[in-house]
Amino acid sequence: MKKEFSCLLANEQETMHWAFSFAKIIKGGDVIALEGDLGAGKTTICKWLCKALGFNGVVSSPSYAIVNEYQNEPFIYHLDLYRIKNETDLQDIGIDSFIYSNAITLIEWAKMAKSFPLNIKYTVAIKIINENTREITVFNS
Ligand code: ADP
Ligand code: MG
């Protein structure tokens, strides 16, 4: 995986601005993985990305439903794979219908899919530096 760029975001407002910039380079059909510990800001980034992509509804963590669908142009799927145990669980949620669609697919905890191919275009890795500061690194695959 090629490293694209890193930056430090000193507070959530800077994260919002970063998400609005990143949203300009993503297109329908792209799958974006978000990695980082609990509370790193995966859902927060999804929230601002959806807003930047034109979605005005509620963006919440899909940790129980596993997938949230947002009526938007482009359509957005928001997944959280934290509770996925194996490939069968991924097949059961119909993963291929999300990752090989014209929609943008945002995937929190993508690493839970292990070696299952998720057609990932960008990985956004979030590191907690302190209470309000995050280091973001984007990898292009
Ligand atoms: P995750 O989905 O990774 O578990 P959340 O997005 O649910 O994380 O929570 C991240 C928390 O960290 C939120 O309460 C958010 O307000 C807070 N936060 C503080 N600083 C930042 C920042 N710079 N960027 C993103 N979130 C931040
Ligand atoms: Mg989350």
Give tens-digit pLDDT for 26-79: 999 999 999 999 999 999 999 999 999 999 999 999 988 899 999 999 999 999
Q: Which ligand is nearest to the CA of 79?
A: 2
Q: The tokens 């975001």 sit on which residue? A: 9
Q: Whose CA is nearest to atom 16 of ligand 1?
A: 12
Structure tokens given for 72: 């938007």
78 lines ligand 1 (CB under 6 A): no
- Residue 67's CB is within 10 A of a number of other CB atoms, namely 16
Which atom of ligand 1 is nearest to 134's Cα?
Answer: 23
Q: Give the ligand whose atoms come closest to the C-alpha of residue 130.
A: 1
Distance CA 5, CA 2 (A): 10
Q: How confident is the model at residue 4 (pLDDT cuts 50, 70, 90)?
A: confident
11 touches ligand 1 (CB under 6 Å)? yes
CA 91 to ligand 2 centroid distance, Å: 22
- Judged by DSSP in three states, 33 sits in strand
Where helices occur in the chain by DSSP H, the ranges are 12-23, 42-52, 87-92, 95-99
